[in-house]
């Protein structure tokens, strides 16, 4: 972001706000495609940031949808059902009924996370005579997915209304170990080969590799290295079917900035404190705890590097936990200055304790390649949600 455009935005919009940049997003998707094996499809896990779903629908093959709310967002945005992967550990009967009743349900894919879900989907498909495409989620040893014998049981009972396309697998986010990925790929090759030998060809594997993002100044900056090595490993995957990667963080994080303003400053017992109008309710970085780590931040307007002082940057919540950064060296910090936090495009804005203290949720701005900025959400007062219905 050039200083000029930031100053223009600061004149037009109240802080705090998020700014998502579509050009950066596009470049990221292009980069992922360059590094990953040819023909690898991408599925955007929209939980990472629902506000990017429309833009990403035009850049990736699929959208992973995990709740009735996410599904309603995609419907409201009129995104193509052929991109929908209906996922999630809780698929309630009412949601499945609403979904399968639609004729375009046949264009979607549903994942199966348990035998209960399998029976629900089979029953609902039968009720409306709709043919459903399914991916069976293999568990990685958590509450998610099916055990291998359950997958075998499902595959051994072909049903005219259920088309089993293949396997889905996700074992965690922010994974920096290439060795672990290699182990998981070997396990998946073995599982897929055994299943195909018994039940015939499977068309696809949808894999969430949990590619990491280097959020902090002291990070080993492993993200690009992991990506390149993962690309090589995936290129050697011994599976003839289609490969789709389900990604959230690695696609979306880099396009986001969170902009918050210094509203007060003080020295308490020898420590410099700056209070900003945002806080931890808007800004969650994976791996951050009590501001022990320093994300990438810049000060606006920039000041000469002369004699920086260390500042503890604290948010607007009345809790001692609301510290965004400790001992951040800044030159001549003043009330009215603005701090820009980088890499806030994924999860930051949905994982915070947004209802605490009834403060407003920030405005959300989207910058298009033309430079035009659109507001995707105005500041939203959470007091509405915290006011009892008397
Ligand atoms: C099933 C599934 N796929 C993909 C993702 C996206 O993970 P990430 O943001 O690490 O890419 C998640 C995240 O929780 C998930 O649960």
Rounded mean pLDDT of the chain? 96
CA distances from 335 to 17, 173, 263, 264, 326 (A): 18, 37, 5, 6, 18
Q: How far apart are CA 176 and CA 352, in angstroms?
A: 24
Residues of the chain with CATH 2.40.37.10: 3-17+255-386
For residue 79, the model assigns a pLDDT of 98
Pocket test for ligand 1, best of 29, 45, 174 (most atoms within 8 A of CB): 45
The pLDDT-based confidence of 289 (bands split at 50, 70, 90) is confident
- Number of other residues whose CB lies within 10 A of the CB of residue 388: 4
DSSP 362: P
Going by C-alpha positions, the residue among 71, 107, 62, 78 that lies closest to residue 92 is: 71
Q: Residue 161 above 70 pLDDT?
A: yes
Cβ 134 under 6 angstroms from ligand 1: no
Q: Residue 2 above 60 pLDDT?
A: no
Q: How far is the CA of 181 from the centre of ligand 1 (A)?
A: 15
For residue 5, the model assigns a pLDDT of 82
Give the containing element (helix H, strand E) for 383. helix 383-386
Cβ 169 under 6 angstroms from ligand 1: no
Cβ 249 under 6 angstroms from ligand 1: yes
Going by C-alpha positions, the residue among 366, 277, 289, 354 that lies closest to residue 316 is: 277
Q: How far is the CA of 244 from the centre of ligand 1 (A)?
A: 13
Q: Which two tokens stand for residue 99?
A: 């979904």
Q: Checking DSSP bridges between strand 17-21 and strand 363-367, what pairing results, if any?
A: parallel
Pocket test for ligand 1, best of 246, 252, 286, 343 (most atoms within 8 A of CB): 246
Cβ 204 under 6 angstroms from ligand 1: no
Q: Which two tokens stand for residue 91?
A: 């698929």
Q: Residue 4 above 70 pLDDT?
A: no
Q: How far is the CA of 211 from the centre of ligand 1 (A)?
A: 9
Q: How far apart are CA 155 and CA 157, in angstroms?
A: 5
The pLDDT-based confidence of 237 (bands split at 50, 70, 90) is very high
Cβ 251 under 6 angstroms from ligand 1: no
- In total, the chain counts a number of residues equal to 390
Write the pLDDT tens digit of every residue in 133-152: 999 999 999 999 999 999 99
Q: Checking DSSP bridges between strand 41-45 and strand 242-247, what pairing results, if any?
A: parallel
Cβ 48 under 6 angstroms from ligand 1: yes
CATH for 36-247? 3.20.20.10
Cβ 223 under 6 angstroms from ligand 1: no
For residue 299, the model assigns a pLDDT of 95
Write the pLDDT tens digit of every residue in 313-354: 999 999 999 999 999 999 999 999 999 999 999 999 899 999
Q: Residue 255 above 90 pLDDT?
A: yes
Q: Does the domain at residues 3-17+255-386 carry the CATH identifier 2.40.37.10? A: yes
The pLDDT-based confidence of 3 (bands split at 50, 70, 90) is low
Contact present, 134 and 110 (Cβ < 8 Å): yes
Residues of the chain with CATH 3.20.20.10: 36-247
Q: How far is the CA of 370 from the centre of ligand 1 (A)?
A: 31
For residue 303, the model assigns a pLDDT of 84
Q: Residue 157 above 80 pLDDT?
A: yes
């Amino acid at each position: 972001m050039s200083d000029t455009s930031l100053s223009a935005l600061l004149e037009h919009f109240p802080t705090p706000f998020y700014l998502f940049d579509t050009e950066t997003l596009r470049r990221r998707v292009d980069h992922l495609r360059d590094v990953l094996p040819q023909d690898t499809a991408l599925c955007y896990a929209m939980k990472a940031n629902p506000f990017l779903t429309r833009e990403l629908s035009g850049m990736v093959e699929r959208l992973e949808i995990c709740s009735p709310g996410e599904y309603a967002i995609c419907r409201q945005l009129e995104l193509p059902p052929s991109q929908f992967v209906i996922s999630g550990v809780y698929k309630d009967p009412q949601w499945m009924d609403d979904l399968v009743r639609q004729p375009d349900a046949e264009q979607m894919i549903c994942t199966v996370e348990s035998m209960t879900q399998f029976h629900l989907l089979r029953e609902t498909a039968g009720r409306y005579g709709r043919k459903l495409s399914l991916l069976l989620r293999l568990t990685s040893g958590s509450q998610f997915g099916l055990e291998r014998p359950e997958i075998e049981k499902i595959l051994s009972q072909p049903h005219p209304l259920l088309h089993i396309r293949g396997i889905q697998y996700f074992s965690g986010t922010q994974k920096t170990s290439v060795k672990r990925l290699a182990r998981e790929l070997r396990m998946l090759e073995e599982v897929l080969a055994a299943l195909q030998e018994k039940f015939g060809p499977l068309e696809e594997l949808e894999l969430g590799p949990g590619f990491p993002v280097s959020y902090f100044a002291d990070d080993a900056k492993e993200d690009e290295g992991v990506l390149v090595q993962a690309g090589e490993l995936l290129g050697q995957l011994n599976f003839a079917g289609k490969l789709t990667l389900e990604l959230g963080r690695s696609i979306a994080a880099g396009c986001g900035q969170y902009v918050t303003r210094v509203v007060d400053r003080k020295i308490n017992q020898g420590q410099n404190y700056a209070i900003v109008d945002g806080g931890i309710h808007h800004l969650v970085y994976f791996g951050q705890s009590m501001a022990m780590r320093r994300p990438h931040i810049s000060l606006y307007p920039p000041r000469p590097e002369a004699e920086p002082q260390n500042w503890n940057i604290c948010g607007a919540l009345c809790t001692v936990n609301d510290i965004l950064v400790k001992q951040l060296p800044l030159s001549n910090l003043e009330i009215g200055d603005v701090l820009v936090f980088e890499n806030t495009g994924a999860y930051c804005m949905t994982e915070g304790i947004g209802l605490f203290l009834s403060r407003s949720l920030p405005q959300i701005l989207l910058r298009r390649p033309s430079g035009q900025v659109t507001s995707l959400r105005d500041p939203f007062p959470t007091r509405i949600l915290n006011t009892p219905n008397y």
